[in-house]
Chain A
């Protein structure tokens, strides 16, 4: 049972990216649909998270925190789209 969504990753993503990634739109490698990163369905805790497409459940993004580094796997997103000026 998931309790959270991509919004809850905002801090961890903001640690890596200069841009607020929850506003970025991903295109899912599984179903081809596009949605906001904030709408991903989130599993796991801060040490390791899996974010799935809300439309087809494919894993879009994985993030793992090791003591001194972070691993981000975005193989489930074939594209990211983000506005250049904050809306």
Chain B
């Protein structure tokens, strides 16, 4: 599935915010409609660019949180069709019902349809004569939709607000559904997960560093990959856990996916543990032994990444199998 990673020219695209979920007090997931989106690999980024009225520009790199499911060949009609990242918005989806939201039925087709994607059915019918699709991705495959269904699509970014940041507070607090931002990507091929049957994977997240790792967990489920995954996720307090509900659900439902939470300042009520940091003992107990040669992905703030990577090397892990990314969320 080496796809998309090397594609055509990198261009800035207009992305429209179609939905947003508050993940924690300071983290927000943006669901963006990006016409012409070529697809991406789990772990890849986008650059986001904001332009002020006076022409001043600020640009930041953010990890993509959602997985991308390739459209199946037109032969198999309906269902999964265009829907990227199937059950993604589980996290804080208002109605709770995960699948409702992302029923991508309406993805690109009528392109600009602003408020459109709210829920699958309504909008369209009234909207455009173009769409005989009646809101189901099925027909889209045949008619004009064919192309758009494949190329258009939604991606999700989860942004951690940094109070002194220039870009992130705008994305977490100001940007509203229907607003547009500029975006280019996907970019980056190094901190990317590729399914491997032979060895397991270890994902270690610090804070919002969980975002690209979540894309890997989602992609693994979407691809029905068998590679065993273990995640160790370090946060300050229980209130800082991004994707808390979805992670809990995936531990139950995704075979071969295990999660160990580490709290550095405050443990959940009733927990017998003390706050602590990821150390040798935790990696030994909740990671994989070095002789299984796990592919390891570590993402978080610099000091976190370095401490964890050093610990893993001292435990005998091959440094070349450890990939790191410092701080998914930038200012």
Interface of A with B (CB < 8 Å)?
A: 1-12, 14-15, 18-20, 22-23, 36-39, 41-42, 46, 85-87
Query: Do the beta carbons of A11 and B45 come within 8 Å of each other?
Result: yes
How many A-B contacts if CB must be within 8 Å? Answer: 85
Given the known interface contacts A36-B190, A37-B190, A38-B191, the answer about A5 and B324 at a Cβ–Cβ threshold of 8 Å is yes
Query: Do the beta carbons of B59 and A46 come within 8 Å of each other?
Result: yes
Query: Do the beta carbons of B61 and A10 come within 8 Å of each other?
Result: yes
The interface size bin for chain B is 20 to 34
Q: How far is the CA of A41 from the CA of B309 in the complex (A)?
A: 15
Query: Do the beta carbons of B327 and A4 come within 8 Å of each other?
Result: yes
Residues of chain B contacted by A15 (CB below 8 angstroms) = 10
Closest CB-CB distance, B310 to chain A, in whole Å?
12
Q: Which residue of A lies closest to B63 (CB)?
A: A7
Q: How far is the CA of A42 from the CA of B189 in the complex (A)?
A: 17
Residues of chain B contacted by A1 (CB below 8 angstroms) = 302
Query: Do the beta carbons of A3 and B10 come within 8 Å of each other?
Result: no
Residues of chain B contacted by A4 (CB below 8 angstroms) = 61, 326-327, 330
The yes or no answer to B195 lying at the interface (CB within 8 A) is no
Task: Name 12 extra pairs, CB < 8 A, besides A3-B331, A12-B47, A46-B58.
Answer: A3-B301, A3-B326, A7-B190, A11-B59, A11-B184, A11-B187, A22-B189, A38-B190, A38-B191, A38-B323, A42-B326, A86-B2
Q: How far is the CA of A38 from the CA of B61 in the complex (A)?
A: 13
Q: Is the interface of A mostly helix, strand, loop or mixed?
A: mixed
Q: How far is the CA of A20 from the CA of B330 in the complex (A)?
A: 21
Closest CB-CB distance, B165 to chain A, in whole Å?
11
Query: Do the beta carbons of A22 and B190 come within 8 Å of each other?
Result: yes
Query: Do the beta carbons of B2 and A14 come within 8 Å of each other?
Result: no
What are 19 A-B contacts with C-beta separation under 8 Å?
A: A1-B302, A3-B301, A7-B188, A10-B45, A10-B188, A10-B189, A11-B45, A11-B46, A11-B61, A12-B47, A18-B6, A19-B6, A20-B6, A22-B187, A36-B323, A37-B190, A86-B189, A87-B2, A87-B189
Closest CB-CB distance, B207 to chain A, in whole Å?
12
Residues of chain B contacted by A46 (CB below 8 angstroms) = 58-59
Best-buried of A6, A7, A9, A36 by chain B (most CB within 10 Å): A7
Closest CB-CB distance, B280 to chain A, in whole Å?
22
Residues of chain A contacted by B331 (CB below 8 angstroms) = 3
Closest CB-CB distance, A31 to chain B, in whole Å?
15
The yes or no answer to B5 lying at the interface (CB within 8 A) is yes
Query: Do the beta carbons of B327 and A3 come within 8 Å of each other?
Result: yes
Q: How far is the CA of A7 from the CA of B331 in the complex (A)?
A: 15
Closest CB-CB distance, B109 to chain A, in whole Å?
28
Given the known interface contacts A2-B302, A10-B45, the answer about A22 and B188 at a Cβ–Cβ threshold of 8 Å is yes
Contact among A18, A20, A41 for B189, CB-based, below 8 A: A20
Query: Do the beta carbons of B190 and A8 come within 8 Å of each other?
Result: no
Closest CB-CB distance, A53 to chain B, in whole Å?
14
Q: Which 7 A/B pairs are nearest by Cβ-Cβ distance? A: A38-B190, A10-B187, A10-B188, A11-B47, A20-B189, A8-B61, A22-B190
The yes or no answer to B240 lying at the interface (CB within 8 A) is no
Q: How far is the CA of A52 from the CA of B323 in the complex (A)?
A: 17
Q: Which residue of A lies closest to B189 (CB)?
A: A20
Given the known interface contacts A22-B188, A23-B190, the answer about A7 and B61 at a Cβ–Cβ threshold of 8 Å is yes
Closest CB-CB distance, A32 to chain B, in whole Å?
16
The yes or no answer to B236 lying at the interface (CB within 8 A) is no
Closest CB-CB distance, A81 to chain B, in whole Å?
13
Q: How far is the CA of A87 from the CA of B327 in the complex (A)?
A: 24
Q: How far is the CA of A14 from the CA of B46 in the complex (A)?
A: 11
Binary contact track B12-49/A, C-beta < 8 Å → 1, others 0: 00000000000000000000000000000000011100
Contact among B6, B46, B188 for A86, CB-based, below 8 A: B6
Residues of chain A contacted by B324 (CB below 8 angstroms) = 5, 39
Given the known interface contacts A3-B302, A3-B330, A85-B2, the answer about A20 and B188 at a Cβ–Cβ threshold of 8 Å is yes
Query: Do the beta carbons of A7 and B325 come within 8 Å of each other?
Result: yes
